[in-house]
Amino acid sequence: MHHPAFFDVAPRILVRDPLAELLGAAEGGLLEYRYIDAVRLAGHSCPTVAGAWLTARAALRALYPDEPAERGGIAVRMPAPASEGVTGVIAQVLTLVTGAAADNGFHGIRGRYARYGLMHFADAPDGQPIRFDRRDNGTAVAVELDLASVPPARETLALMGAAMQPDATAAQRAAFGTAWQERVRRLLLEHADDPAVVRVRLLA
């Protein structure tokens, strides 16, 4: 797969998955996720996917400051229904990293390692940030993303209009794709730890 070079240097997320360790899938249960994993899951790279990636990273670092986060040990509450806007896309990326799944998740082995029912969606948009709860000690954080601090280049909209035309050339489509990914690159490489973009608040 040929992809933009910045995918390979974007922040990575290391977690420990007890189920992976039990089943012999990873030594010590350690799994390292890369941004390209989220891209493969979503089928594309955009500010929403990158923002979800940074949201997961920030939450896990806050909940587990001194060790890899436990995949499957976190419950996630989305502040809108799964069908609302980009909520479902964000939730899929969060499930990839945290293991938290809705009713379609893994049901466990002999009462352990269950992942279903750990991803919750609000019945209606409530304007709240995404909430992450560490199940073993009750620690919780809220993470909110502000993409307005990383706006697209001014020419992006015009490039999109040209690229979406039925007679768009390969060069026009490539120009739009390059401009689109430049915003993603800035978000991941220049603002991953920017508190104006990724806001984390300890709840408990």
| Domain 5-147+196-202, second-level architecture | 2-Layer Sandwich (3.30)
- What's residue 1's pLDDT? 65
Residues 6+ apart with CB under 8 A from 1: 36, 40
**Dist CA 175 CA 183 (whole Å):** 13
pLDDT above 90 for 115:
yes
- What's residue 192's pLDDT? 96
Strand order in the sheet with 30-33: 30-33, 13-16, 69-70
Q: How confident is the model at residue 147 (pLDDT cuts 50, 70, 90)?
A: very high
- What's residue 77's pLDDT? 97
Residues 6+ apart with CB under 8 A from 117: 101, 102, 103, 105
**Residue range 111-118: mean pLDDT, rounded:** 93
List pLDDT tens digits, range 62-92. 999 999 999 999 999 999 999 999 999 999 9
pLDDT above 90 for 32:
yes
Torsion, Cα 20 30 57 59, to 10 degrees, reads 70
- What's residue 126's pLDDT? 86
Name the nearest CA neighbour of 70 among 112, 17, 29, 118.
17
Say if CB 131 and CB 140 are below 8 A apart.
Answer: yes
List pLDDT tens digits, range 152-165. 888 998 889 999 99
Question: Alpha helix (H) ranges present in the chain?
Answer: 18-22, 35-42, 47-63, 87-98, 156-163, 170-190
List pLDDT tens digits, range 120-133. 999 988 889 999 99
Domain residue limits, the chain:
5-147+196-202
- What's residue 65's pLDDT? 95
Helix, strand, coil percent values for the chain (each to nearest 5): 40, 20, 45
- What's residue 127's pLDDT? 85
**Dist CA 68 CA 15 (whole Å):** 5
DSSP state of 73: S
How distant is the alpha carbon of residue 200 from its chain centre? 15
Kindly report the CA angle at 42 between 16 and 155, in degrees rounded to 5? 125
Residues 6+ apart with CB under 8 A from 90: 48, 51, 52, 55, 78, 130
Which sign, positive or negative, has the C-alpha torsion 141, 142, 147, 149? negative
